[in-house]
Chains A and B, each alone.
Chain A
């Protein structure tokens, strides 16, 4: 079950498709009849005003919310709903809008948790540690150290993440997701609350992840400049409905989008 099913997905082929997804909380319709797809290798931006349903959409994709209606096709496998564990095991990783790190753990341990599914040694071997388990820990530590180098967070390796500044926490969270070697990476406002310099760093990281690791990315972002620069295609949500879908340029010129989103003071 952990092995990716359905063989390799070629670049440009549809990796994830959501069809007619509807989701409501009590009386609030968070999503109504939303469909779009994400192709292998692209950066797909999801934009929209506050409360549009962007985060809810990601929650549906990785199995936190179960849609009332609709279908999710990931790696050619169609489901009515995802389960968080299944999503993780089949290569979907995620960062959160309000950083959701393991606050009591160090940067290193946080990122190491991303390797959980790749670690195979049993409880007995872990009890003894020396030998097999140690070897495994070191192997994964080496992988994690490469991520730490890449994200330039060597200096905070051993620091408890709870006390780190916000920008660094966001970076650690990205590292934790990358440690899963995801095929699809869901980023929920990775640059929110950052200063310009931090934003530039984050953009650089995202582009490198896309190009060097061949990771497909779904990106929620409010900063239109960032969206225009980073994304290949954009889907626009408003009040739980999809109002536009296309290249950044197409979306930018779309009347409905301008009214709903770009038109409002931002």
Chain B
């Protein structure tokens, strides 16, 4: 099928303002959703290659979905609102540990008041969403400096958040329910009586979260709030004169972004890891997310998926392809190669195409639309 808009005249603004105004894009989206929601579970149920084992689901698709979700969150803040953040790992941790506390029951002794605050263990879904909410709350607190400071200085402030929370979750034993090792186990994945156990169930759960949040994010960024974020990013002075309040725009971006990152953190801990240590959310994670967003495309929801896929698949490809070709390559060399490729790609993209893969993709579509005529 040719990628053409010919004949697709929009007779209403509603049609022109649809999430995907071009029919081929809509069809592609439905196909992807169909494969993800129906195709993969069916292949997996029948043990058809490559779903004969759980490897693809557990080691690739699940982390891809969860990190793509986190990347969407980071993209809202960095790509859409233009506020640099190096603390995404910390916000994932806040989501994970808050969800853990809500899921296992919070008890908070208040000796001076003479009583304890205690909340019984909450249902899993609420715990995860509350994890996101706590992350949003902390995100707003750490976003306040962004009203005064920009660029590098803001990056340093978010870096401080990263190190602070790394420290908190290692040192404050209350968060880990005083387990001796500091490592914690996720509570049972009970969604209103439905126990999520098998890999395919976990995969579907992640898929549902990612789909819902991706749609919400897409709606936000194309609407009034998203325009305010982008306006602040592109020219904050002019934005203010349009009546956009930097306080509101920036803090909503911090809140929405941290919420999504926090939920992703909770999913990462509960569903992908199962049991985890504070190191799971270190500065490395923050950088990984930032790289995903830069490579995939700043200011693009699709880009968040592309970036997550690339960063996850690159090491696997670099490991497998030489082997398949019979080239002996050591694990060490692979990890060096990953750094080299990621690093040079980021340099290239930042200089040549700041909007990442997503932009390359839409440029390609633009060309395709006009093909075979040059313009």
Which A residues are within 8 Å of any B CB, using their own CB? 62, 64, 84-85, 87-89, 93-94, 96, 100-105, 109, 112-117, 119, 121, 123, 126-129, 133-134, 136-138, 141-142, 145, 176, 180
B227 touches A94 (CB 8 A): no
8 Å CB contacts to A: which residues of B213-266? Answer: 216, 219-220, 223-225, 227-228, 230-231, 233-235, 237-245, 252
Chain A residues closer than 8 Å to B17, beta-carbon distance: 134, 137-138, 141
- Main secondary structure, interface of B, reads helix
Q: Contact residues of B with A, CB < 8 Å?
A: 13-14, 17, 216, 219-220, 223-225, 227-228, 230-231, 233-235, 237-245, 252, 299
User: Which residues of A are found within 8 Å of B220, using beta-carbon distances?
Assistant: 123, 126-127
Cβ–Cβ contact B237 & A100, under 8 A: yes
Q: Which residue of B225, B227, B245 is within 8 Å of A109 (Cβ)?
A: B227
Indicate if the CB atoms of B241 and A116 lie closer than 8 Å. no
* Complex contact A104–B252 (CB within 8 A): no
Query: Known interface pairs A105-B234, A127-B219, A137-B17. Does A121 touch B224 (Cβ–Cβ under 8 Å)?
Result: yes
In the complex, the answer to whether A96 meets B243 with C-beta atoms within 8 Å is: no
Are B13 and A102 in touch, CB under 8 angstroms?
A: no
Q: Which of A88, A104, A141 contacts B242 (CB 8 A)?
A: A88
Contact among B223, B234, B240, B252 for A129, CB-based, below 8 A: B223
- Among B14, B219, B230, B252, contact of A102 (Cβ-Cβ < 8 Å): B230
Which residues from B are CB-within-8-Å of A112? 227
- Chain A's nearest CB lies how many Å from the CB of B248? 10
Nearest CB in chain A: distance from B352 CB, A = 15
| List of A residues within 8 angstroms of B241 by Cβ | 62, 64, 84, 87-88, 93-94
Once the chains bind, are A116 and B242 in contact (CB under 8 Å)? yes
* Residue numbers in A under 8 Å from B230 (CB-CB): 102, 104-105, 109
Q: If the complex has contacts A102-B231, A113-B231, are A96 and B225 also in contact, measured as CB distance less than 8 A? A: no
10 additional A-B pairs beyond A100-B238, A145-B13, beta carbons within 8 Å, are: A85-B245, A87-B241, A116-B227, A123-B220, A128-B216, A129-B219, A133-B223, A133-B224, A141-B17, A176-B242
* Closest Cβ neighbor of A93 among chain B residues: B241
Is A119 a contact of B224 with CB atoms below 8 Å? yes
Of the A-B pairs whose beta carbons lie under 8 Å apart in the complex, a sample of 6, sorted by A's number, is A105-B230, A113-B227, A123-B220, A123-B225, A133-B224, A134-B14
- Contact at B216–A127, with CB atoms within 8 Å? yes
A96 proximity list for chain B (CB < 8 A): 238
Partner of A114, one of B240, B242, B299: B242
The answer on a CB contact under 8 Å between A104 and B238 is: no
- Tell me the complex Cα distance, A87–B233, Å: 21
CA distance A126 to B220 in the complex (A): 6
Q: Which residue of A lies closest to B237 (CB)?
A: A100
**Cβ 8 A contact of A104, one of B14, B225, B234, B239:** B234
Q: Which residues of B contact A102 (CB under 8 A)?
A: 230-231, 233-235, 238-239
Residue of B at shortest CB range from A120? Answer: B224
Which residues of the other chain, B, contact A113 by a CB distance below 8 angstroms?
227-228, 231, 239, 242, 244
Chain A min CB distance to B299 (Å):
7
The CA of A114 and the CA of B225, in the complex, are separated in Å by: 13
The complex places the Cα of A87 from the Cα of B244 at a distance, in Å, of 11
Chain B residues within 8 Å of A126, by CB: 219-220, 223-225
Evaluate whether A89 and B243 lie within 8 angstroms (CB atoms) in the complex, with A104-B299, A105-B231 already known: yes
A116 and B299 form a contact (CB under 8 A): no
Chain A residues lying within 8 Å of B13, measured Cβ to Cβ, are: 138, 141-142, 145
- Cα distance A142–B252 when bound, in Å? 27
Q: B240 contacts which chain A residues (CB < 8 A)?
A: 84-85, 88
Q: Inside 8 A of B14's CB, which chain A residues have their CB? A: 134, 138
The docked-state distance in angstroms from the alpha carbon of A137 to that of B242 is 17
Beta-carbon contact of B243 and A105 below 8 Å: no
Name the residue on A nearest B244 (C-beta): A116
